[in-house]
Amino acid sequence: MLNDDLQEIKEAYERRDLGSLDTLAVPKFREINTKNDFKSVLMLSCNNLQHLMKITSLDADCIMLNLEDGVSLEDKPFALVLSAIFLSRIRQSEKKIVIRVNALNEGGYEEITYLNQFMPDAIRVPKIKNSNEVKSVLALLNEEIDLHLSIETSLSWYNISSLNVDKRVTVFYLGILDLFVDMKLSQSLIHRDNPTMQYILSHFLVSCKAMNIKPVSFVYQEFKKLDEFSLWLDLEKSMGYDAKGCISPDQVKLVNEKFVNEEALINRAKIIIKLFEMHKQEGSTGFVDEEYGFIDEPIYKGALAMLASSFVLSH
């Protein structure tokens, strides 16, 4: 993606030349990805060139470019410009590209002002507290860019129903570690069987759904414990979640596997069967549908098998 100037970017970053990097961050037209049907949200640090280079090749549905946690204070200006450089070179993306800025009183407002011209698909604001803060961000944010909010303070939890002040507010993320710290709750309670934890998950989900907001479940930090992560996904899916934050490709893979929308797949199979049988009556055994792509007999048989499988599992 950046073969032409990657070396130049790398050298400027290594010699801490913010001015040279800034000249490479040239705003260009981006086609905004307005879809919010993503399942896996992978966090990438904006000060890590190796991470940024992989954006288009990763399996995550949503890429979260992070300017906040994990980026040192001295590296934040560089991370901001690097995120802009990569945004300007990804004119269109099937992946949702979101930038998590710093807290509003820690440079967030200034970062949003700068990023407006580079048109991320959405901006995620951490440590949000109340509707007045949300309105202040919306007044500043480019009207084409969605606003995502982190629910990770006591006040945001208390005010959650009032944060949905505009149609551009589309996604809430549950920041469980910061929320527990702010509420002075022990992090030992973050366990699948704990009633407080289950209440928080269910309350967050139902509150979001009632406002037509997409809820994204918390990031599980112990990324090597994939068996435990998988059990969390089973619990969250049983509650009604369909998206979760991730910090590793292995976590992304599990989320994509677990959070498959079976109902959507079944409906798709039914439509494919109907289209194929209709065209077959007209003498065609293979055709291209504008929405569902190329459909022939193997595709048709695969749809039949899916329906048969779903019937067996439901009985």
Together in a domain, 303 and 240? no
Together in a domain, 98 and 246? yes
Band the pLDDT of 265: cuts 50, 70, 90: low
* 1 in a structural domain: no
Together in a domain, 278 and 241? no
Amino acid present at 123: I
Which one is predicted more confidently, 57 or 157? Answer: 157
Together in a domain, 298 and 236? no
Together in a domain, 146 and 115? yes
Is the pLDDT score of 106 beyond 70? yes
pLDDT of residue 65: 97
Together in a domain, 226 and 282? no
* pLDDT per residue as tens digits for the range 196-211: 999 999 999 999 999 9
Together in a domain, 159 and 278? no
Together in a domain, 308 and 174? no
Range of the domain at 83: 6-260
Band the pLDDT of 262: cuts 50, 70, 90: low
* 267 in a structural domain: yes
Q: What is the CATH number of the domain that holds 220?
A: 3.20.20.60
Together in a domain, 43 and 168? yes
- Report the 10 Å Cβ neighbour count for 180: 19
Q: How many domains does the chain have?
A: 2
pLDDT of residue 29: 87
Together in a domain, 181 and 282? no
| Average pLDDT for the chain | 91
Q: What does the buried/exposed string (b/e) look like for 237-275 if buried means 16 or more CB atoms within 10 Å of the residue's CB?
A: beeebbbbbbbeeebbebbbebbeeeeeebeebeebbeb
